[in-house]
Amino acid sequence: MRNTDIVIIGAGPIGIELAAALKQANLEYLHLEAGQIGATMQWWAPGTKYFSSPERIEIAGVPLVVANEEKATRENYLDYLRSVVGTHQLNIETYTRVISIDKDDNGFILHTARSFHGVGGQEELSFNATTLDQLEPIRAKRIVLAIGDMHLPRMLGIPGEDLPHVSHYLGDVHQYANQPVTIVGGKNSAVEAAIRLFRAGAQVTMVHRGEWFDPDRIKYWLYPEIEYLIKKDKIRYIPHANLTAITPTHATLGTGESIESRFVLLLTGYVQKPDLFEQLGVELVGNDRKPKHELKTMQTNVPGVYVAGTGSAGSQSRTKVFIETSHVHVDRILASLQGRISDATAEDYTLEES
């Protein structure tokens, strides 16, 4: 059995930033990631842009430089994360998934396995831990769960949701060219998908249970675009509507209307997998099932177990915790691990991140 003081689970931006801080402080730790670094961003559609400006999503003191001073794309940021890991010479054990965690009087025992993708994305829908090869267990005194919050799609629970032409992930826009596509959702991901698919030549129908979009939840450069395209009937928009069934050729609304659909995109958001929290006895509170923790330290109700980044927010129904509001988590966790209390405060941002 391997032994260490601290284990970081998850190598998204805040997990990587924390690893750099622990290394600089000469603290003993292991860093595990079920997929590649930045695994969540890997299943974003190619070319997706961040809402946040580059300086707000920089980590570990490494500048994020983007051509023409634009906002970073998915590709820019994945390149950037690799550069941060290289700059700080961080040792991250990628493709190593934590399957379960046991507690005893001496701390925690982590059971891991060789994995082939991160926790999330299309592959997670069919994930089966029993098919993975077990690795050597790890004993740790303390654990930081920087696991993110976008692991599984919010399912509609309707007939046909599992058909092969139905997806909760946009993917490469090219596949939808010149096809009739129905998009369900009314937040940023649905709006961005609708605009991009229209520009790729798709015949787009948007189905939204609300009256209209909340402009505070749409990237500000996309809002006037979707407003114009719907007003000019270039994108069909159906408000106050819900899908009730999907067939290989059509999507059916609660009104009985049937919409021709070669593809159906259910962009209704994502939820966090709480397995590790539940195994550890971390209390999950509220509708979002947010892991209970002390804000000054980021330590949960289980001594020695910390949360960082969006993993601290549960399944966010309205995004309040994202990269730029989570930098402070690193200071708080580092201080607590060193036996002190951080006085760092988070900056107040009014815009949601992509």
Examine the pLDDT at 178 and tell me if it is beyond 70: yes
Tokens of 352: 């949601």
Tokens of 40: 């969540």
The overall average pLDDT reported for the chain is 93
pLDDT (tens digit per residue) in 297-348: 999 999 999 999 999 989 887 778 889 899 999 999 999 999 999 887 766 5
- The answer to whether the beta carbons of residues 345 and 328 sit under 8 Å apart is yes
Alpha-carbon torsion 218, 221, 227, 230, what sign?
negative
Q: Which of 66-70, 197-201, 211-215, 349-353 has the lowest mean pLDDT?
A: 349-353
Examine the pLDDT at 351 and tell me if it is beyond 60: no
User: Which of 216, 182, 179, 221 shows the shortest CA–CA distance to 201?
Assistant: 179
- The answer to whether the beta carbons of residues 99 and 113 sit under 8 Å apart is yes
Q: 118 to each of 130, 213, 214, 304, how far by Cα in Å? A: 16, 31, 31, 24
In order of their start, the domains of the chain are: 2-152+270-337 (3.50.50.60), 155-266 (3.50.50.60)
102's enclosing H/E stretch is: strand 96-104
Task: Please spell the DSSP secondary structure of 110-172, one letter per residue.
Answer: EEEEE-SS-SSSGGGGG--GGGSPB---EEEEEEEE---S--EE-----TTTTSTTEESS---
User: Which of 273, 260, 82 shows the shortest CA–CA distance to 165?
Assistant: 260
State the pLDDT at residue 173.
Answer: 96
Half-sphere exposure of residue 254: CA atoms within 13 angstroms, side-chain side: 10
Higher-confidence position of 220 and 228: 228
Q: Is pTM beyond 0.95 here?
A: no
pLDDT (tens digit per residue) in 281-310: 999 999 999 999 999 999 999 999 999 999
- With tokens 């991160």, the residue in question is 118
Cα separation, 327 vs 332, whole angstroms: 9
